[in-house]
Chain A
Amino acid sequence: MFTFIHAADIHLDSPMLGLSQHDEAPVETIRGATRTALTRLVDLAIEREVNFILIAGDLYDGDWKDFRTGQVFVNEMRRLKAEQIPAYLIYGNHDAESQVTKDLILPDNVRVFPTNAPATVQHLDLPVSVHGQGFATRHVKDNLAANYPTPVENHFNIGLLHTNVGEREGYGDYAPSSLAQLVAHGYDYWALGHIHLRETLHKHPHVVYSGNTQGRSVRETDEKGCYVVSVNDELKVSGNEFVALDSVRWKNAQIDCSVMDSDHDLLQAIRTELTQSLDTSEGRLLAIRLTLTGHTKLHELFHSAHARLRAECQSIALDLDAEMLWIEDLRLKTQTLIDPAELANQDTLTALVLAALDNFDPTELPLPVQTLLNKLPEDARKALKSSLQPEETLDKESMRNDISAIVLQAIATSGPTQ
């Protein structure tokens, strides 16, 4: 009978994080990736001739003040208007603090829901009622869904909501709600925003997170986009198709080094992994993190030649496709193959280092690190928290493991006649 698009968390003009700049980095490709995703969203709506689109919050990044970002959104909404496609929009926690949100004049095909109370908007031509309420401030801890209006009879009822359903860890207590509550509310489709990982929590009624339209860091891997929802004559959801909109694809690849004999083997494995990953990135720029794992005899070598390996890895990426590959990072999570007890018997120094490392406390920062800390920008300090203040046992163990490898390998390779 009709179709609509459900999207959320566009985070317009939010930068891609964690991509270290290097001389031949494909910077142009990642520029404006979030804008590209929005353009693709509008292209999709026009191409599929959908009846309306829903945006479930977080259009912008909160502290971003450039009004041109809002203009980008206005321009795209105008394209929808030219095709007579309405857009229903709520503001999320990030939009609440955005200056752009408050002063932007949107075209009249865009309907923004109020933030002080829930409201209902009925579609002009279709038996569709959209209910929604935006975030008035960044921290809305109330259960907004609880006050949403009762469903309109003989209409397809949609709840547009920015929420953390079931209060998932890592996503804060933003407008918390529960799945049972949403299912019981009587709506046909809950178009949710806030969680960047797409997920259909329930079907009939549908409770759906569309995820964000463009991944922004290696924490947001794989396809990102929106749902195209079809509703039949009985006003039931008959189809819910995911369509990817991203232009930069993030991936976290693990390479098991346990059977490798040399760093040549590693580079070969990296080349294979990158080639295969490129094949599956569907023509998008692939931002990939390579994590080396496994118990391997190369553990110490990796720590000694980390900079070289990183450079060689980068070189392979440039060789394969300089425009379509960006190595986000090369992480070492390998374990030594040598039994610590056996290692301790090997020579006096190793025994000393190993014994001393047991009591080594990586929270006591060396002086140069403290100096560095004072110079670091806030974003970098946050990102380095696990190295600067390793609270978890796992963090500390990981630090000890890395430092042990660096120490042993530095000694083993420092003599001129080894």
Chain B
Amino acid sequence: MRFDSLNIPAYGPFTGYSLSFTPSAQDLHVIYGKNEAGKSSLLRAIHHLLYGIPNSTSDDFIHEYKKLRIGATVNNGDERLTFLRRKGNSGTLLDEHQNTIDEGKLKAFCGSVNAEFFTHMFGLSTDNLRAGATNLLSEKGELGALLFSASIGGSPIDAAITKLQIEADQLFAGSGRKANSIVAAYTSVTKHEKDSRSHSLSITEWKKLKRRLETAEKDFASKEKTLTDKRTRKTRVESLISAIPLIQQRKAAATQLAEITIPDLPSDFPERVRASQSSLATAESLISDTRTILKNKKEQLSEIAPFQSVLDDGPVLDWLHQAIAQHLDDIHNIDSAKRSLDKLHQEQLDQLERLNLPDVDTLTSLPETGNVKLASIKKLADSFAAAERAYDQARRDSKNTTRALKNETDKLSNLKDTDLSDELRDLEARVAEQNQNHKLAAEWIKTRDKTTAEIQKLTNQLGLCDLEPEAIPKLAVPAAAVLLDFESIKTQLAEDHRRAQAELDELTTNAVELESEIQAATNENSVVTLSNLHDSRQERDEQWTSLAAKILSKSEIAAEESTTFKMKMLDSDEVADSLREHAETHGQVKTLQNRLHTTHEKQKQTDDKLKRISKTQQEHDERWSKSSSFLADRTFICSELIEWREIWLTWCNHEADIALLNKKIDAHEANENNILDALREAFQNDNASYTALGMRLNETLTEAKSVKGERKAIAAGIESLATQQVNHQDALDIAEANLSKVADEWKICTETLELDDSQEHAAVVTSLELRHAAHTTNREITDSALAHKLILERISSYENKLEKYRDRHLPDSPVIDPAHPDITEKRLAELLSDAKVRKTGHDGIEKDIARLVETLEVKEHAKKSAKVEIQALLTTAQIDTAEQLPELLAQFERRKILQADLNHANSTLTNLAGSLTLDELVHQADSEESDALQVELQSLADDLRSLQDERDTARDTLKGVTSEYEDFSRADDHAANSKQLAANAVAKVVTDSERFIRLQHAIDFLKSQVEEYRKKTQGPMIQRTSEFFTKLTSGSFVGVAAQRDDKDATRINLVAQPHNPDAPNGIGETINTDALSEGTRDQLYLALRLAAIDIHLENHAPMPLILDDICMTFDEERSNAFFEILANLSEKTQVIVFTHHQHIATMAETFVKSEQILRLA
């Protein structure tokens, strides 16, 4: 892939910015821009263009985040793609028309180069070159992996291995708090298996338990039997003790029973006697009461008055009562009915007169129209009138359209012809474009003038007014780095000098102080030294030697000699004493003397150093003088020159800007002249100005456009009118046909109804409505006359009936008042109501009498039955009269109580007998003594207590063993369940281990592949790096070599091989990367990266290589070498170099054409 152009509508500092990359055999382009011109932004923009704008971009400081756009045209030899990148999460790739396009289209151009690979291989700045190279050279020593990744298109092999390793580790040991791993599962296996074993029941345990159970069962059975026997005897003794008094009671009751002689009677005999006696008394009382009531009722019946004749006429009297309201209405309405009939007759006479008819018969002979028919005739009359109006309107419209059409056709034929040539259209476009650029050009001129003024100002500032402008950029101004270096060294030397001087001064002061301290110490004490002691002792010894010789030779010794010797001895002793006494002071003095000596030494050294620094300063000043004397008439101090140089660089940049602006302005003016020539030729006017001709062109075009527009509008109007004319003619035809149809219908209608069709439609309709009203009135007269007659007949009939029944039932009442017949009617109604009430009372009493008679009969029967029952009971009891009954009943009750007592005693004794019969018990009780039984009972109770304890103990033992046995027999499943859980854990181990084994194989496999590849690729890679490195360092180094790491044999490091002509193979001792200077290290990094790219390009499609200020630490010679390498590389892929150094841009001119050097404004 290569870039044909970059187009950045909105991104970072760019607005509507574009760059074109002219194709050439050497596809190398240099983009020059000052600091802050946007080079780094441009590199980032290219990255985002290809791989998307990230969410966290900071390039929205001018353009709104959503409006960020970066575009380009790229080609891969066969195809070309123009696209834009917008900000967003998806669908961010757009075509020229801002439509979303598939990301795959661009991906096809990028091939295997993904974003990360592009960053560390193709979009290089010094920082990421160094970072990447550092990784490549030293990070973890995985050179093999990195070479491998580099060669296969950036596949992150390490990441893949790490990813697999993480999964494998997690499988094996788990992650976080989750104990979800092979190790945890295995622990679980062990735990559950142990649990299973500990809960298993062995056969031996089982057998032991069974034996214990049998023993416990036997023991319990024996104890239980003894206890039961004793309990049985105790119960028997207790029974006998209780039975003895009962047996006596039993005998007494039997005797009393024998004394009662009444016959055996049924158990309900007393109840039956009482019931019969009660029934008889009740019956007798009721019979007496009923007879009294019956007598009273009969008396009431005889007192009720007659009522039957009135009730027989009841239906007629009821009718008279119901019809009285209608009768009163009729009397009230008869007069108004007569008046209504008369009014209708009068109305009829009026209508006949208005219709001009002689009599009613003539009216009835005329055809009658109903309401519906009348409405349809009215509608027809309306339709007739509407059809006439529509016909008139259609005729008017048709006439108007025909007139308008003629007017428009005439207008069109009067319009003049105009034409517009392609040439003029082309000129219009060119003029428009040129005019649009005028504003821009004005800005350019303004900027140029401003910059020119600034450049003049800068020339003054620089003090270069005497110099030709062309010479200024060519001045041999030292590089900024050099100046900074000079300044730094100068400052450092001055600082060193200051420090050395300060040190010397301090040392001198120290020496003086030390000397005075020594002096003081020596003065204060008569200081003697070892040498004094030595001297005094030597003098003493010499004196002694002399004395001794004289003593030996027995020579005479002079007294003074002896004294002298004595003095010498005293002196030497004094010195020795003094030494002892002032030993500390001596030590101090000695120390001070030593320090003084050291201080003098240091003074000497510092003095030497000061001299060396001064010499270096002098040399530095000389070098500075040489470097800074590029202007014949001016010298600089370093800081001054740095400032001067900045102004000078600004001057150079301004000059370059002016040149660029001039180029643009010239192009703009040339274009305007070309257009002017074309205009002059088009309008055949050689002297007219650009503005005048432009206006003329504009007018011509406007006029032509106006005429054309008018013609188009009229033609459209004519077309519209023609259509209207056709429509109006159609409407006229329709209205005419409609009118004719309605007229025909109207004619038929008037003929059928015998109407005068010579009248207006409204008059005809009015006449017809009047006829309809007359017919209606006639029908109403007939109906009213009939109603009047019916009322008269109804009044007469009612009055006759009323009189008839008054006379029959109320002969003594007043005759009927014709105005108030209701008085008579009311009397008759009351008469009927009274009769009905009497009838109801009479019927009720009759019913009561019948019921009382029936009751009386029933009671008589009950009385008789009671008497029969009492007689039967007397017979059963074998007595004669009812009076004997109470005594009989008392004896009966006594016998019953005695029998119950006897039964109770027998029942209790039977219970006490237990397994014995009653007789056996009685017999045994008779033979036992009560006291003896009491004694035995006490003894038995004592035995039972101890036996009970023994039995309970045996039972508890059995219960315990049985519980254990049941527990075992319950077939507990704890062991089996633990075994199941262990099996589940094994399954987990197996499942995870299968994956683990595969992952480990995959990891091993990848590692072995990397190592294999390293072995295979390392050679070519190192060879290629060596070639580039040698070239970039201009032969200072002969290449690089791979060396095993001293500490880790698996690590491979790269070392540089310096050129050394004295060495047998020309290679000096290898240098570790860290020991190289910064510049050389950068060149090694670059060599390494270029080698990787070169190897990559052997097997992959080209991808633009972008280098952002890579060579800033390169000197001129190495920069030249750099460009030579890039020129070669650019034959394989497009190379774009960003620089902020003018001299680099200038240097590049040797390698590329001028159009390949672009400026970043």
- Chain A residues with a Cβ under 8 A of chain B: 13, 15-22, 25, 27, 30-32, 35, 64-69, 71-72, 74-75, 99-100, 102-103, 306-307, 328-329, 347-349, 352-353, 356-357, 360, 362, 365-366, 368-369, 372, 375-377, 379-380, 383-384, 387-388, 399, 402-403, 406-407, 410-411, 413-418
Contact = CB atoms under 8 A, between A and B. Distances in A.
A71 B968 contact: yes
A348 B1004 CA distance: 19
A114 to B, nearest CB: 21
A414 B160 contact: yes
B980 interface: yes
B993 to A, nearest CB: 6
Contacts of A387: 993-994, 997-998
A81 B20 CA distance: 102
Nearest to B171: A307
B656 interface: no
A27 B987 contact: no
Given A21-B981, A417-B114, A352 B1013 contact: yes
Interface stretch (B184-192, B227-235, B309-317, B915-923): B184-192
Tell me what chain A mostly uses at the interface: helix, strand, loop, or mixed.
Answer: helix
Given A348-B151, A356-B1009, A362-B1001, A68 B972 contact: yes
A306 to B, nearest CB: 6
Query: Sorted from nearest, which 6 A-B pairs have the closest CB atoms?
Result: A15-B983, A414-B159, A417-B115, A21-B984, A66-B200, A20-B988
Contacts of A366: 1000-1001, 1003-1004
A272 B306 CA distance: 103
B112 interface: yes
B1000 A368 contact: yes
A101 to B, nearest CB: 10
Contacts of B996: 368-369, 372
A403 B1001 contact: yes
A41 to B, nearest CB: 16
A16 B189 contact: no
Given A372-B993, A384-B994, A67 B202 contact: yes
B990 A383 contact: yes
Contact of B157 (A72, A402, A411): A411
26 contacts: A13-B973, A18-B990, A32-B973, A35-B976, A65-B202, A66-B199, A67-B201, A67-B206, A68-B976, A71-B969, A71-B970, A75-B971, A103-B203, A103-B207, A307-B171, A348-B151, A348-B152, A349-B152, A349-B155, A353-B1009, A365-B997, A369-B1000, A372-B996, A377-B989, A417-B51, A417-B116
A411 B157 CA distance: 6
Nearest to A31: B977
Nearest to B210: A105
A33 to B, nearest CB: 9
B114 A415 contact: yes
A66 B968 CA distance: 11
B54 to A, nearest CB: 10
B159 A25 contact: no
Nearest to A76: B971
Of B115, B162, B979, which is in contact with the most chain A CB atoms at under 10 Å from its CB? Answer: B979
Nearest to A371: B172
Contacts of B168: 368
A353 B202 CA distance: 58
Given A384-B993, A388-B997, A407-B1006, 9 more contacts: A15-B982, A20-B988, A21-B981, A27-B984, A99-B203, A356-B1005, A357-B1005, A368-B1000, A403-B1001
A148 to B, nearest CB: 31
A75 B196 CA distance: 22
B691 interface: no
Contacts of B199: 66
Contact of A380 (B162, B167, B990): B990
A31 B980 contact: yes
A75 B1008 CA distance: 62
B12 interface: no
Contacts of A360: 1001, 1005
B182 to A, nearest CB: 7
Contacts, number: 210
Contacts of A417: 51, 114-116
Given A103-B203, A348-B152, A402 B189 contact: no
A391 B163 CA distance: 29
B198 to A, nearest CB: 11
Contacts of A68: 200-201, 968, 971-973, 975-976
Interface of B: 51, 112, 114-116, 151-157, 159-164, 167-168, 171-172, 182-183, 185-186, 188-190, 196, 199-203, 205-207, 968-973, 975-977, 979-991, 993-1006, 1008-1009, 1012-1013, 1099
Contacts of A27: 980-981, 984
Nearest to B206: A67
A322 to B, nearest CB: 16
A231 B164 CA distance: 64
Contact of A348 (B153, B164, B172): B153
Contact of A410 (B152, B973, B1002): B1002
B971 A72 contact: yes
Contacts of A102: 203
Contacts of A349: 152-153, 155, 157
B1099 A17 contact: no
A376 B186 contact: yes
Contacts of B1012: 356
A84 B163 CA distance: 67
Which of B163, B201, B207, B991: most chain A Cβ within 10 A?
Answer: B991
Contact of B984 (A20, A64, A413): A20
B152 A380 contact: no
A367 B650 CA distance: 67
Given A21-B988, A403-B1001, A406-B999, A415 B116 contact: yes
B1001 A399 contact: yes
Contacts of B171: 307
B971 A399 contact: no
B228 to A, nearest CB: 31
Given A31-B973, A65-B202, A383 B1000 contact: no
A147 B985 CA distance: 45
A32 B155 contact: no
Given A67-B201, A399-B1001, A415 B159 contact: yes
Given A69-B976, A387-B993, A75 B984 contact: no
A383 B203 CA distance: 32
A365 B483 CA distance: 65
A325 to B, nearest CB: 15
Contact of B998 (A64, A71, A377, A403): A403
A356 B1012 CA distance: 10
Contact of B976 (A19, A32, A369, A375): A32
Given A66-B976, A352-B1009, A347 B153 contact: yes
A380 B773 CA distance: 118
B27 to A, nearest CB: 25
A307 B994 CA distance: 12
A399 B997 CA distance: 10
B188 A21 contact: yes
Nearest to A418: B114
Given A406-B999, A411-B160, A66 B975 contact: yes
Contacts of A18: 987, 990
Contact of A379 (B202, B986, B1004): B986
B69 to A, nearest CB: 21
A75 B969 contact: yes
B973 A347 contact: no
Contacts of B982: 15
A70 to B, nearest CB: 9
A368 B1000 CA distance: 7
Contacts of A69: 971, 976
B995 A307 contact: yes
B243 to A, nearest CB: 47
A134 to B, nearest CB: 19
B268 to A, nearest CB: 57
